[in-house]
Amino acid sequence: MRELTRYRSSLVEDRTRVVNRLQKVLEDTNIKLGDVATDILGKSARAMLEAMLGGQTDPKVLAELARGRMRAKRAELEQALVGVFKPHHRFLLTELLAQVDTLDEAITRVGNEIATRMQEVSLEQDQAEQPASSPETEVETDEKPPLTWAQAIVLLCSIPGISRRAAEGILAEIGLDMTRFPSAGHLASWAGMCPGNYESAGKRLGGKTRKGSPYLRKFLVEAAHGAAHSKNTYLSAQYHRLAARRGKKKAMVAVGHTILIMIYHMLLQHKSYEELGGNYFDERERQATEKRLVRRLEKLGYQVELQPVSQVA
């Protein structure tokens, strides 16, 4: 599983590099499609590229190929699609689009293989868990049966920011059995997602993270990026809280560390994710939050008097 997920990750990286080359060719033609379209290989953008390869150069005709919400940006598209499209640009775009299609097919095939392998392993686990003795001789125990791959993926996908692809990659790196790690801190240390401890003469000189699995780190940071852009969630609140003080990159690593700690306890206890809400930190430090906001308003020249909502009503 680890080899398959790592290979798929390398294919995704190759596809990203090809898309960046395609964007560079478009910039050379002075076509600013990427400034208007979020994805230059989406349905609308792909239709425009295919039309340009077919010889269409009229910006108005190309802009009319927009679909869905992109149709509201037809005026911007007309300006963005004005450029100098030469024969060698057409050749390069044709080659790059063919590479993207080939990589998309390869990513799909590897993804199907991963799903098939996980299903086979899950079936083997289910068969191994079936009792060999009669019901009369069974002994009741409090131990929970081990999780299957399918069950573990469902648990991880309940965390904001984690997609099925990221869940498969994370599980392939750390496995399903969390009892091999004495604590969540040991797992974070093994993964290289915790602060370092560089100390000399009783003075702490740095807290750079140690080296760990680069694939696991990438999956966790990607999940942290998705969680940071979610709305009204604990992980989003943690990211914005840390990014204001420590910077965006350190905040991403910190959120990835939190996600890894969550995964440890979820796999160990067989529990799904429980959302604490985007106002968790404010409620936890309610008085400190009130004082800080009142001071900010007083510095702006306001006189503030706090009253509970129930009294105002």
3-class DSSP state for residue 205?
strand
Structure-block tokens of residue 110:
């590897």
pLDDT of amino acid 133:
47
pLDDT of amino acid 308:
80
Tell whether pTM > 0.75: yes
Structure-block tokens of residue 47:
């239709």
Terminal alpha carbon distance of the chain: 59
CA-to-CA distance for 249 and 2, rounded, in angstroms? 26
In the chain, where the domains are located: 2-122, 149-197+207-269, 280-312
pLDDT of amino acid 131:
55
pLDDT of amino acid 134:
46
Instruction: Please give the average pLDDT of every successive group of 10 residues along the chain, which has 313 residues.
Output: 94 95 93 89 91 90 90 91 90 95 96 89 68 49 74 92 93 91 91 78 72 89 93 93 91 94 93 89 82 89 82 49
pLDDT of amino acid 125:
66
CA-to-CA distance for 253 and 246, rounded, in angstroms? 11
Q: Closest by alpha carbon to 175, among 157, 148, 193?
A: 148
